[in-house]
Structures are given as structure tokens and as C-alpha cells.
């Protein structure tokens, strides 16, 4: 799907999951969209040098895209229908439900496991939720690495475990430290080792760090609610530094930041607080 961004307003682009990265100038944003539009057009007309990655993969169905779009709109106020995606077990591997490949920080390529072409669920994963999860990664392609890398995508899932614990899987070593340490301690204790407590340092550090970043996120969300804004759509569009700053500001300081920053004004006005948000 080609992206004709020149005819769209900033609000329309935002609603399609095309928003500037923090600190990205208007010129840099426009240049990134220009590159993206060219890449999408090349994929569409068959001239892209990325076609070897796609092979004979079947494009995602309109039905699953529509279902995923409802999820991302309800939670984050965007529908990223422009993100190219296909069914490919070869790309995802057996155990993965979906993956996202990023090309030059501008073009996301999305693949769902091939079984989702014929069934709604596989190995406990829902097809629409998986697609929505990867779309959230896709719209943050231009963002710097984040400690909330998996938090925002995991809020899409119906599973409480994925919503609460999914962010622990943003780095491969975090679950290893958490679960490995928790499993090793009783084994060493049963063996009579005097060092059985040492493996618990891993879980303590992981849980402590997660508690800290989640506390900052909650404080930032509270600040946004005080300003009459819906938290999750705004938080998705912020950098970690912006989230940490919002969490640390007093109400008076936040008001001053809002009045002095066109970016904050746009975000707060674009997503007014809804009942129950």
C-alpha cells in the first residue's frame, strides 16, 4: 500500500501510525516519509530489492488487518494499514507467532506464522493480537531503544500475564536472570551449598528495575490524566526521557512544559481523556 503523505495532515498521519520520533525535526520526518513512500511503492510494483525476503509468502488478509486495526485504534489511536505484512513460517520459525524486520530504520516488514492464514489461534497466541503487537513495534521503528520496548505492544493482549510480565522479555537475558536465578537457588540450597542465596541477586535486580520503570510510567500517566489527556496514546509517542521527565515534574512544572512546547500541546490536545481511560 503506497503512502501518499503529501496530501495528509499531521493529524491524519498520526492516526495512521506515522508520527515523528522525539527530537526529529519536521524536515527529517518528511525525509523519512519520502524514503518510506519510495520503499512501499517499490514493493508494490515489484522493483524492490527486498523481494527476496518475501519470496512466495502470502499477503496478510484484510480480515486480520481489520481486526488488528480495531485493537490498535482502541488502545493507541492509530491504524497502520500501510505496514506491509505476509504469512511466512519460514521467516518466523516454529516457535515465534510473528516477527518484525526493520530496514534502514524506516521500513518495517511484518511476518506472521503461516498457520495464522488458516486459523485464529496457534500455541496460545491470537492472530489479531499478534499482528497488532507487531504493528506497535512497526510504528516506533524510528524511535531509539526503549525500556518499554515490549510494554506497549503487550498491552494489546487479553492475557494478564503478557500485559504485566511481557516487558521482561525485551532483552533475552532478563528472563534468564529472573527465572534461572529463582530456579537455581533452591537447587543449591538442597545440595547444602552456602552460596544458595547468590542466584537470587538476579531476580531481585530484574524485579527492582522493572518496578522502577513501571512506577515512572504510572506517574507519567497520572500527570497526563491531570492535564486531561488519555495516557496510553500519548505515552506510546514519547521517548523514555520524555516519560521520565513527565513522571518527575510537579503539576505546575508540567503546565509550564506544556505551555512552552508545541509538541506537548499537540499531543495533549490530540488525545483528550475519555471516560474510563
pLDDT bucket at 3, cuts 50 / 70 / 90: low
Residues 14 and 135 in one domain: yes
Spell out a b/e string for 156-168, using b for 16 or more CB atoms within 10 Å of the CB, else e. bbeeeebeeebbb
225 is a domain residue: yes
State mean pLDDT over 203-212: 96
The residue from 126, 143, 160 where one domain ends is 143
Residues 135 and 172 in one domain: no
Tens of pLDDT along 213-230? 999 999 999 999 999 999
159 is a domain residue: no
State mean pLDDT over 142-168: 95
Q: Which residues pair with 125 in a beta bridge?
A: 122
Residues 117 and 196 in one domain: no
Residues 129 and 192 in one domain: no
162 is a domain residue: no
* pLDDT on residue 210: 96
Residues 9 and 139 in one domain: yes
In terms of phi and psi (left: phi > 0; alpha: psi -120 to 50; beta: otherwise), the region of 23 is: left
45 is a domain residue: yes
Domain around 206: 168-270
246 is a domain residue: yes
What is the percent of the chain where pLDDT is above 70?
Answer: 98
Residues 126 and 209 in one domain: no
Residues 128 and 69 in one domain: yes
Residue 56 has pLDDT above 90, yes or no: no
* pLDDT on residue 106: 83
Neighbours of 23 (CB within 10 A): 11
Q: Alpha-carbon distance 189 to 207, whole Å?
A: 22
157 is a domain residue: no
Residue 275 has pLDDT above 80, yes or no: no
Residues 130 and 199 in one domain: no
Report H helices in 103-229.
127-139, 151-154, 160-165, 173-175, 181-190, 201-226
Residue 109 has pLDDT above 60, yes or no: yes
Q: What distance lies between CA 90 and its chain's CA centroid?
A: 23
Q: Which residue has the cell 480480515?
A: 63
158 is a domain residue: no
What dihedral angle (degrees, nearest 10) is formed by the CA atoms of 139, 163, 222, 275?
Answer: 90
State mean pLDDT over 227-238: 96
Please enumerate in sequence order all residues whose Cβ is within 8 A of that of 176, keeping only pairs 6 or more positions apart, or say none: none
Rounded to the nearest 5°, which phi and psi values hold at 122? Answer: -155, 125
Residues 46 and 131 in one domain: yes
Q: What is the mean pLDDT of the chain?
A: 93
* Helices 201-226/240-248 angle, 10° precision: 70
Number of domain units in the chain: 2
Whole-angstrom CA distances from 162 to 98, 101, 133, 223, 275 are 15, 22, 11, 25, 25
Residues 40 and 137 in one domain: yes
What is the percent of the chain where pLDDT is above 90?
Answer: 83
State mean pLDDT over 114-123: 93
Which of 116, 68, 63, 111 has the alpha carbon at shortest distance from 90? 111
pLDDT bucket at 276, cuts 50 / 70 / 90: low
Long-range CB pairs of 35-43, under 8 A, 24+ apart, other chains included: 35/104, 35/106, 35/107, 36/3, 36/106, 36/107, 37/2, 37/3, 37/4, 37/5, 39/103, 39/106, 39/107, 40/1, 40/2, 40/3, 40/82, 40/84, 40/107, 41/2, 43/84
The pTM for the full model equals 0.93
Residues 45 and 127 in one domain: yes
Amino acid at each position: 500500500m503506497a503512502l501518499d503523505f503529501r496530501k495528509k495532515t499531521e493529524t491524519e498521519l498520526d492516526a495512521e501510525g506515522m508520527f515523528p520520533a522525539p527530537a526529529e525535526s519536521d524536515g527529517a520526518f518528511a525525509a523519512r516519509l519520502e524514503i518510506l513512500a519510495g520503499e512501499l511503492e517499490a514493493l508494490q510494483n515489484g522493483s524492490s530489492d527486498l523481494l527476496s525476503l518475501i519470496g512466495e509468502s502470502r499477503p496478510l488478509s484484510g480480515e486480520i488487518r481489520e481486526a488488528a486495526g480495531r485493537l490498535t485504534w482502541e488502545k493507541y489511536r492509530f491504524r497502520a494499514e500501510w505496514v506491509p505484512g505476509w504469512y511466512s513460517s519460514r521467516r518466523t520459525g516454529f516457535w515465534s507467532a510473528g516477527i518484525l524486520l526493520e530496514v534502514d530504520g524506516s521500513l518495517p516488514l511484518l511476518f506472521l506464522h503461516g498457520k495464522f492464514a488458516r486459523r485464529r489461534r496457534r500455541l496460545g497466541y491470537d492472530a489479531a493480537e499478534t499482528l497488532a503487537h507487531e504493528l506497535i513495534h512497526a510504528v516506533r521503528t524510528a524511535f531509539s531503544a526503549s525500556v518499554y520496548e515490549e510494554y506497549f505492544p503487550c498491552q494489546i493482549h487479553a492475557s494478564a500475564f503478557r500485559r504485566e510480565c511481557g516487558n521482561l522479555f525485551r532483552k533475552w537475558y532478563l528472563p534468564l536472570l529472573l527465572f534461572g536465578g529463582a530456579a537455581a537457588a533452591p537447587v543449591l540450597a538442597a545440595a547444602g551449598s552456602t552460596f544458595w542465596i547468590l542466584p537470587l541477586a538476579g531476580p531481585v535486580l530484574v524485579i527492582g528495575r522493572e518496578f522502577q520503570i513501571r512506577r515512572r510510567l504510572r506517574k507519567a500517566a497520572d500527570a497526563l490524566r491531570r492535564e486531561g489527556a488519555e495516557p496510553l496514546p500519548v505515552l506510546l509517542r514519547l521517548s523514555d526521557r520524555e516519560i521520565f521527565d513527565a513522571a518527575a515534574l510537579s503539576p505546575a512544572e508540567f503546565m509550564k512544559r506544556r505551555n512552552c512546547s508545541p509538541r506537548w500541546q499537540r499531543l495533549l490536545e490530540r488525545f483528550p481523556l475519555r471516560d474510563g481511560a
